[in-house]
Structure 1
């Protein structure tokens, strides 16, 4: 199969970039794959890209040229924010090539992309034909103009029927699918298919599990890192923190004199894996709707339990007393109570939960399963395109 994969890099690497590279490398083992990428810029170049966001003819012409040169059987689009833009979807459809698009976030609905604003979930955009509330609140980078321009970009393409031109949208979970179906996007059920993320099999490192909990992720408000630190500081439990982000200075300040918390900052994947493999449990205190956190899949693959927020997909991925525990990330007492509950479990129960985590990975999140489903999606849209 000849597969063209299109992706727009953010200025700073994120989870979407990881998924893009992961799928590209896996697909290349059995298929002919070509990639077309765009890069968000800073300064004047970035401003021009952003102004072109709604109708980027340059990006559209680039994808047309690639299609004419490569003659793919299917085109798979990942991120289009903001150097390429949704106009590119119309260009692909004009070439009469079947197309799928992975929705890694909720930008089609809301300029926030995360349905999160100022320390709480933000869902007003789901019921508004134009997300005026999000624009007025400046949900994107606290900027009225940025929020308005992104909102306009997706609103105008919704009005133009651009998103109907995508043969199939891949969403990461049933929860994400329900969000899109219950929004004003007004796309039919059969436009969506659920296919989650995956991680390679690390072959679990059988180490004696330590008493230290671990946080791995972006140090940002929506990830709930500050409330987690404040909760841990009120206990004798140990916590390791790995990551970087806009709240790093605050994290460093809060942990500087905390004897039970160690901040490691940004570290390589190998270093993080080593610490994760010997962790007591992974803590995921997100206060936003996550997509499908790779860190949870990595924990499951290593047989490490997960203690996570009872919000969105996290409530579905982590099963209490089977693969971990839940807590309310907005309440410090709930976080501490969950830690206490975990520590008070006997060793045999903990070992059973660790085994369940590994089983959950084998059953749901291996590369072979994921690629098999992705290829089935490609074949389905190709077949349906031929019959239409």
Structure 2
């Protein structure tokens, strides 16, 4: 089976870039994979690229030539924004090749890609065929003009049926499927498939857990840093913070006044995994709609439960009292209550949640599970498109410990 991966790399490396590379490498050895990539630019060249993204003839010519040379059974598009453009869908379908598109964020429905602007979460874009409210706020790069143009590109392609030509859309969480199922884009909800991201397994190293809570991530407003600091400042519970970002000064200020809060700055992956393995739980207080936070997958792989805001992806990735605890987003008191709940668990109950977190990784986020799901999606659309059929795919098996949800 031959699959052509199409992708536009961001000027600064983004999460979609990581997933594109990971899935390409994942399928090597079980499928013939070739890639065609584009690169977003800045300055005048970037402005021209964004303007012509509505109907990028140069990209279309490259894609057409690649399909003629490679003759793929399926085209898988990861990110077309904005150096490639949605025209990639039309080129592949016109040439008779089925198309899979992974929706890594919510940009098709909101120019910000996250429904998050200067005034916090803005959900009016979910209710509007054309996102005027997002445009008025300049939710894309703080520019009304750029926000309007990006919105118009998506609206135009929805109107002419480009997105309806996609055979399958992949979203990463059940929450994302709910968002896109109620859309104005001409997408048939039956063509939206949930397939999470994955990370390689993380070996056990016998580290004993301590009572410390852990935060790993960017120190920024949308990550809920201020909410977390406020909640922990009212307790004696230890919190270790790893990361960099614009709120570093605020974090350091809290550390000076509250001895239970410590800050390690930016650390390498080995140190982060060591910290996760010994942490009592990971705190994830994000106040915006995340796509699929890799930090949560890493916590689950390390058997670390997650205390997270009950919002967006976290609302479906974390099951309350099973692999973590939910609290109300943007509410420090609710986070304090969640920490108290965790503190009142017995040692056996915490061990069970840790086991459940590890099982969640094995069941949903392992490379083997991801490879199986991705090939099944390809197989399904190839069958419908009467292209070459794959051999039957054997479902991956995993060794699991019994999973229990706390009462």
Note the alpha carbon deviations across 1:297-337, whole angstroms, 9 max, x for none.
Answer: 11111110100001133122212221111111321111111
TM-score normalised by length of structure 2: 0.90
1:85-100 correspondence runs (5 A): 85-100=85-100
Q: Secondary structure at the match of 2:170?
A: strand
Give the Cα–Cα distance (whole angstroms) in 2 for the partners of residues 92 and 64 of structure 1: 7
Q: CA RMSD in A?
A: 1.9
Q: Is the CA contact (8 Å cut-off) linking 1:6 and 1:36 kept in structure 2?
A: yes
Counterpart in the other structure of 2:43 = 43
Offset at residue 29 of structure 1 (A): 2.6
Alignment of 1:67-82 (within 5 A): 67-82=67-82
For residue 267 of structure 1, what is the aligned residue in structure 2? 267
Residue in 1 aligned with 2:181?
181
Q: Which residue of 1 aligns with 2:404?
A: none
The corresponding residue for 1:210 is: 210
Whole-Å Cα distance in 2 between the matches of residues 165 and 80 of structure 1?
A: 15
In 2, Cα distance between equivalents of 1:376 and 1:173: 17
Question: Which residue is 2:311 aligned to?
Answer: 311
Provide closer, same or farther for how the CA distance between residues 31 and 286 of structure 1 changes in structure 2, counting only shifts above 3 A: same
**Aligned residue for 1:338?**
338
The range that moved more, 311-320 or 332-341, is 311-320
Deviation at 1:41, TM superposition (A): 1.9
Which segment is superposed worse, 322-331 or 42-51?
Answer: 42-51
Q: 2:118–2:137: 8 Å Cα contact kept in structure 1?
A: no
Q: What secondary structure sits across from 1:18 in the alignment?
A: helix
Q: Structure 1 116/155 Cα, relative in aligned 2: closer, same or farther at 3 Å?
A: same
Deviations 1:177-223 (A, max 9, x none): 11111122232122211111122111333311122211122333322
CA distance in 2, matches of 1:228, 1:61: 50
Q: State whether residues 119 and 222 of structure 1, in contact with CA within 8 Å, keep that contact through their aligned partners in structure 2.
A: no
Offset of 1:271 from its aligned partner?
2.3
Larger mean CA deviation between 119-128 and 190-199 belongs to 119-128
Partner Cα separation in structure 2 for residue 148 and residue 218 of structure 1: 28
Question: Secondary structure at 2:264's aligned position in 1?
Answer: strand
Q: Tell me the CA shift for residue 72 of structure 1.
A: 1.2
Report the Cα offset of residue 38 of structure 1. 1.6
**Counterpart position of 2:125:** 125
Pairs aligned (count): 387
C-alpha separation in 2, matches of 1:252 and 1:72:
53
Aligned with 1:322: secondary structure? coil
1:221-271 deviation line (CA, Å, top 9, x unaligned) = 322122212222232222222333454455455546543333333333222
Runs of 5+ consecutive residues of structure 1 not aligned to the other structure: none
Aligned to 1:14: 14
The yes-or-no answer on 1:169 pairing with 2:166 is no
Partner of 2:152: 152
Quick one: distance in 2 between partners of 1:71 and 1:284? 44
